[in-house]
Structure 1
Amino acid sequence: MPFVNIKIPQGALSRAQKAEIVHSITGLFVHYFGEAARPHTMVLIEEVGDGGYGRADEVFVVPDAYRARDSLT
């Protein structure tokens, strides 16, 4: 079973954007492994809260300008 785990900042993507990512990644696996991969492909999108990760010794907080506009995240 193909499995993809994506971690994104909480609130950065709308529900529609997450659905598009799931659809696109599933399509990618189907392209390489054939249609039989579709029902077994798992795409997990995990949202990480502000301050829950960092880079280069700096804790990351998503600026409001980069948050999803859709309230149905």
Structure 2
Amino acid sequence: MSAKERMEELRAVHKKLTEERSDKGREMERRKVRIEQTEKKMADLKENIENEIHSAHDEFLKMDSHIKLYITEMEQSI
């Protein structure tokens, strides 16, 4: 095998490896973006759940206060 043939063979291998690396890089970037999007959705959902819990707690306290007031009024009217 001549040096020229060997160079052509090495160029072909290099080109193939470069393409594979480029493909893997693009795939890694897509996965990274997908992971970031999923993490953002999870953070948003967590925030929404925390807000709902807070609202439910506030509503509970409000209802509890109304019930206690109603019971007090009933006791006073007896």
Q: How does the TM-score come out when normalised to structure 1?
A: 0.28
Q: Comparing both chains, which one has the higher relative contact order based on Cα–Cα distances under 8 Å and sequence gaps of 6 or more?
A: 1
Structure with the larger strand share: 1
Query: Given the two structures, how large is their TM-score scaled by the length of structure 2?
Result: 0.27
Q: In terms of Rg, which structure is larger?
A: 2
